[in-house]
Homo-oligomer: A and B are copies of this chain.
Amino acid sequence: MIEEELMLQQLFDEDKLTDKQKKIITAAIETFSEKGYAASSTSEIAKKAGVAEGTIFRHYKTKKDLLVSIVAPLMTKFIAPLVVKDFNKLLDREYETVEEFLRATIENRRDLLIRMLPVLKIMLQEIPFQPELRAQFFDLVVKNIFNSVEKVIKGYQEKGLLIDMPPESIARLTITNILGFLFSRYILFPQLEWDDELEIERTIQFIMHGLGKKD
């Protein structure tokens, strides 16, 4: 709960939310993430937030409004900056190799990523069904990221550190593997014992060198 409030601070600080609104958001994230949007009831969220059910509808006209109010700022304020910031650092030559950059991205932000997981899970679950969200996701996240990423990747390609492949495909493959790791680790098989450090390193090495053995 305390950790989640930290994330909320980052996510929602700029809007002035009342105390109850924050509680509603927190409870909604928790519930949507656990059961999925459609299977979560507003009465359950209200109970978990310690507010009356009517209070939810005073702030969010509909249940879907509540969902959008959670996911939308995540996309605008959080995911895009997360990646862009690092890619800009990359441009500043902070990291000499792509491995270092990936390692730093994942390692530095692992706590954050883990804390983001509930909302990320909601996003991944609902985007296939909510055209509204899908459109937002496409406009805010995909276009933004892929745009700013292009020159970065080109830069590395010019330096001879990345293969010649269209930046979109490179971005897709990289993101797939990072999200795929998180999804396997925390959503599909959280009950398995994972050596996180090791598995992240393997993922990075895989991204860079693949599975084929070099002679």
Contact = CB atoms under 8 A, between A and B. Distances in A.
A184 interface: yes
Contacts of A215: 160
B214 A160 contact: no
A138 interface: yes
A173 B206 contact: yes
B38 A163 contact: no
Q: Is the interface of A mostly helix, strand, loop or mixed?
A: helix
Interface string A191-215: 0000000010011011111111111
A136 interface: no
Interface in A124-157: 125, 127-129, 134, 138, 142
A188 interface: yes
A133 to B, nearest CB: 11
Given A128-B188, A129-B36, A177-B177, A212 B169 contact: no
Nearest to A166: B202
Q: How many copies does the complex hold?
A: 4
A214 B205 CA distance: 14
A8 interface: no
Contacts of A169: 199, 202
B208 A212 contact: yes
B174 A177 contact: no
A187 interface: yes
Given A36-B36, A184-B172, A165 B211 contact: yes
A210 B121 CA distance: 27
6 contacts: A142-B189, A165-B211, A174-B211, A176-B181, A176-B184, A177-B180
